[in-house]
A and B are shown apart, each in its own frame.
Chain A
């Protein structure tokens, strides 16, 4: 298995532009997470999907952020319009199931998309 695949790995854009980040989770995983990592705030959960349905998007900072999961093998995180304070590393992660239930549930992270908004 190739793991969780994210693209692009690096994105530099100008303020006001639209940014789309993409994620392919591990086949068979039914839970997908989008995280943002910054020095100031650490790891923040932006949105959680279960079986392609958004369950909790309370971490999405503003209406400028949106996420979709049209099928089990693809998700996008879109920022429109982008602002310099959106500069961060965005991670997608998937797991076989949610974190509850019996047994340890492991998140598998992608390599991340480093976004720089000038």
Chain B
């Protein structure tokens, strides 16, 4: 069945780049999404990429998509303390179903 996998934790130093990885299984997905969840809050869309793109850049965020390997990554440049959150990768598998990764908790070290 469909599955989205992410590592559970990532620890980086403030100012370094963070790279959060995700693997997915449904090759027919048209879009792939990254959501961010801050403590005590709901998820909010961070960015997304269309499946015919290899890369998308938005300020400090870079999304890379390797369709052959079904691998998605999110790079955050110059990581700040405000980036501390849980990051979820998600792919749609129907008109209303998203398969969610378990979420990667980003920990920022001073």
Binds A, one of B16-24, B61-69, B74-82, B90-98: B90-98
A99 touching B96 by the CB < 8 A rule? yes
Chain B residues positioned under 8 Å from A93 (CB to CB): 42-43
A114 to chain B, nearest CB (A): 8
- Given known contacts A110-B42, A111-B42, A112-B42, A43 and B96 CB-to-CB distance under 8 angstroms: no
Chain A residues positioned under 8 Å from B50 (CB to CB): 104
B102: interface (CB < 8 Å): yes
How many chain A residues touch B (CB < 8 A): the figure is: 25
A56: interface (CB < 8 Å): yes
- Given known contacts A42-B102, A42-B103, A43-B88, A100 and B44 CB-to-CB distance under 8 angstroms: no
A99 vs B92: C-alpha distance when bound (angstroms): 7
- Given known contacts A42-B103, A104-B31, A48 and B96 CB-to-CB distance under 8 angstroms: yes
A42 to chain B, nearest CB (A): 5
Q: Which of B35-57 contact A (CB under 8 A)?
A: 35, 40-45, 48, 50
Closest to A95 in B: B96
A91 touching B43 by the CB < 8 A rule? yes
User: Which of B41, B92, B96, B98 contacts A55, CB < 8 Å?
Assistant: B96
Chain B residues positioned under 8 Å from A4 (CB to CB): 42
B87: interface (CB < 8 Å): no
| B binding-site residues for A, Cβ under 8 Å | 31, 33, 35, 40-45, 48, 50, 88, 92, 94-98, 100-103
Please name 8 further chain A to chain B contacts, defined as beta carbons within 8 Å, in addition to the given A98-B95, A108-B45, sorted by A numbering: A45-B97, A55-B96, A99-B95, A104-B50, A105-B92, A107-B45, A109-B42, A111-B40
| A binding-site residues for B, Cβ under 8 Å | 4, 31, 33, 42-43, 45, 48, 50, 55-56, 91, 93, 98-101, 104-112
